[in-house]
Chain A
Amino acid sequence: MTGKTLYDKLWQAHEVRDNGDGTSLIYIDRHLVHEVTSPQAFEGLRLAGRKLWRVGANLATPDHNVPTTDRDKGIDDPVSRLQVETLDENCQSFGITEYKMNDVRQGIVHVIGPEQGATLPGMTVVCGDSHTSTHGAFGALAFGIGTSEVEHALATQCLILQKSKSMLVQVDGVADEVVTAKDLVLAIIGEIGTAGGTGYAIEFGGEAIRALSMEGRMTLCNMAIEAGARAGMVAVDKKTIDYVKGRPFAPTEDQWEQAVSAWQDLVSDEDAIFDKVISLDAARIQPQVTWGTSPEMVVGIDQRIPDPSSFTDTVKQEGAQAALNYMDLQASTPINEIAPDKVFIGSCTNSRIEDLRAAAKVAKGRRVASNIKLAMVVPGSGLVKQQAEQEGLDKIFIDAGFEWREPGCSMCLAMNADKLEPGERCASTSNRNFEGRQGQGGRTHLVSPAMAAAAAVTGHFIDVRDLSQRDT
């Protein structure tokens, strides 16, 4: 018998029953809830007179609609306010623990789950949000669901699922110091395409992945969905366990030892066979910048915008041309000549403490360039914000001319007041560069936190390494 992949193990440990028709009933350990994709699910439960199966498996917080300034004044937009109030009411009446807008523990769901230890190795974690893949960083099976499935999970603590195929993305070699998890994952998406992982659960492995911190692994798994994979995951090691230890929801006392010993098995067996294997050499990956309207439209900072005619099939050629038109860019322009109008450091991809440290390191002692209309830093949670302030990062940013905001999704998708105006160009640490994502007519370039900060202080994209040589 061949060995099992991590995905096989997680699947088997949660299979309540095999339905015999290609689907299985899979048990869900943790359900994270936010205001946008849950109201219709709670309404559905009420209409059908159904209760929650296991109240304690749920944890909620508002993140998409919350303002990032003047929190004490509440939410200005009545439609956003109603949505957040609806979450508060639903959590109250169904008994779900919620970190409300003004709680220091509030933040983006994918930041607070791990921060609270509510995401644990070996769990199945779901949320009505595609970036739930983030939690796979802990050797968990985590994926986004739609509102019907949110209702299903609330009512039954299970989902009816079809097993995906398995893919191993093996990244060996040693990445340059400035090359972050964000650059690795953008390079992976550039390689396999935004549909390359469709139908697969991806495990990231190899030397360069093992070298990443837990924050880095979360960034990586967060963007598995941008490669089309519903779930991304990384095997458990000492870093995983050290990160979890002592967090509010983590196991304590004798259960801790028992849990740690169970978690040791959360790795793919050496003889496990994956349906597909992709290999990359980390040493060859440069800091990445996207140039188009899909995360796969990405190149290294040392490169130029590709010519649409260089793509092989016509659908891709037309897609690239449409993207250049939308982005108002010319083929063959060197990436480092592109000048953004705004800079956004935040989102569930890059708003954890390590991300803020990386950006602050670049911003320290420098000033936001005069052509940048707004550079903002939005921490992923109230606790990340607090920690950053203890380390003095807020001062560094403010002194450099960045705005220091309250936690939430913010300009990652611009459901609150933070958005791009038509035609504005943004260096963003978020995960999607789709048309209109950051505001109608807005143009997004996805980068790492250090690269975003470097673009802010020079006024154009630049290799962070050139920056350090030039003026520090």
Chain B
Amino acid sequence: MDKFKHLKAIVAPMDRANVDTDAIIPKQFLKSIKRSGFGPNLFDEWRYLDHGEPGMDNSQRKINPDFVLNQSRYKDARILIARENFGCGSSREHAPWALEDYGFRVIIAPSFADIFFNNCFKNGILPIVLEANKVDYFFTEVANNEGYQLTVDLEKQIISTPKKENIGFDVDEFRKHCLLNGLDDIGLTLQYVDDIKAYEEKRKQQAPWLF
């Protein structure tokens, strides 16, 4: 997993609540057995006017000019601001894979669905929960200022604006540590092999039918 420490980037707005994982990456792309290459199909049904299928040459497809990420001002965006319950729906990790592959490394919203939130951290994406009024403020700023950028510092847990405002955010200790160091959870857990074995032994006595 890529490390995440610090990012200064253009912000794109996704102004609707309950953006679900089916919208983030439609199911036909879940047939892939790979982990990469989902970026061109991020938000596929909103982004293109035709119907997308795996294996298509996306550069030849009809772009939906009304879709926000197709506007040239957001072309280089790497921070996404969103509304309530972003990432609801299925557990598909293809959703963060697609966001990451497209270039997003930070998503800021008033709330996220649990599984999606968790999946982000495992793929080098930092999801930040902020109060709705602060997120609202970013929506206004982004709309009024072309090329609006934010700076996100994970170490200090601070978002800085072009007006030099500093907005703090919370992040869970363990997840922060993994993201800062690009750590693989499995490696961490395997340090506790003895604890797992001891647990299994004890459990076999108490509940032998589970083994």
Given contacts A37-B91, A147-B93, A158-B196, contact A436 B186 (CB under 8 A): no
**Cα of A143 to Cα of B115 in the assembled complex, Å:** 9
A-B contact count (CB 8 A): 179
Is A48 a contact of B186 with CB atoms below 8 Å? yes
Is A27 a contact of B92 with CB atoms below 8 Å? no
Partner of A316 from the list B17, B92, B172 (CB cut-off 8 Å) is B17
Is B92 a contact of A251 with CB atoms below 8 Å? no
Q: Which residue of B lies closest to A154 (CB)?
A: B186
**Cα of A64 to Cα of B177 in the assembled complex, Å:** 36
**A435 located at the interface, meaning its Cβ lies under 8 Å from any Cβ of chain B in the complex:** yes
Is B18 a contact of A319 with CB atoms below 8 Å? yes
Partner of B22 from the list A82, A258, A432 (CB cut-off 8 Å) is A432
**B88 located at the interface, meaning its Cβ lies under 8 Å from any Cβ of chain A in the complex:** yes
Is B196 a contact of A22 with CB atoms below 8 Å? no
Given contacts A27-B196, A122-B207, contact A440 B92 (CB under 8 A): no
Please indicate the chain B residues that have their CB under 8 angstroms from the CB of A322 in the complex: 16
Is B90 a contact of A129 with CB atoms below 8 Å? yes
Partner of B190 from the list A130, A144, A155, A434 (CB cut-off 8 Å) is A155
Contact with B along A235-265 (1 / 0, CB 8 A): 0000000000000000100011011001000
Is B16 a contact of A319 with CB atoms below 8 Å? yes
Given contacts A16-B199, A146-B92, A318-B16, contact A198 B34 (CB under 8 A): no
Q: How many Å from the CB of A154 to the closest CB on chain B?
A: 9
Is B54 a contact of A79 with CB atoms below 8 Å? yes
Is A415 a contact of B111 with CB atoms below 8 Å? no
Q: How many Å from the CB of B120 to the closest CB on chain A?
A: 9
Is B54 a contact of A27 with CB atoms below 8 Å? no
Partner of A194 from the list B18, B115, B123, B177 (CB cut-off 8 Å) is B18
Given contacts A40-B33, A122-B207, contact A148 B196 (CB under 8 A): no
**B203 located at the interface, meaning its Cβ lies under 8 Å from any Cβ of chain A in the complex:** yes
**A359 located at the interface, meaning its Cβ lies under 8 Å from any Cβ of chain B in the complex:** no
Q: Which residue of A lies closest to B26 (CB)?
A: A436
How many A residues touch B, CB cutoff 8 Å? 77
Q: Which residue of A lies closest to B188 (CB)?
A: A160
Please indicate the chain A residues that have their CB under 8 angstroms from the CB of B177 in the complex: 21
**A12 located at the interface, meaning its Cβ lies under 8 Å from any Cβ of chain B in the complex:** no
**Cα of A413 to Cα of B20 in the assembled complex, Å:** 13
**Cα of A130 to Cα of B116 in the assembled complex, Å:** 10
The CB with the most chain B CB atoms within 10 A, among A65, A79, A322, A414, is that of A79
Please indicate the chain A residues that have their CB under 8 angstroms from the CB of B68 in the complex: none
Is B83 a contact of A315 with CB atoms below 8 Å? yes
Given contacts A43-B35, A155-B190, A198-B111, contact A437 B123 (CB under 8 A): no
**A300 located at the interface, meaning its Cβ lies under 8 Å from any Cβ of chain B in the complex:** no
Residues of B within 8 A of A (CB): 16-18, 20, 22-23, 26-28, 30-35, 45, 51, 54-55, 83-85, 88-93, 96, 111-115, 118-119, 122-123, 172-174, 177, 185-186, 188-190, 192, 195-196, 199-200, 203, 206-211
Residues of A within 8 A of B (CB): 16-17, 19, 21-23, 25, 27, 29, 36-37, 39-40, 43, 48, 50, 53, 56, 64-65, 77, 79-80, 82-83, 86, 120, 122-123, 128-130, 132, 143-149, 151-152, 155-158, 160, 162, 164, 194-195, 198-199, 228-230, 251, 255-256, 258-259, 262, 294, 315-316, 318-319, 322, 413-415, 432, 434-437, 440
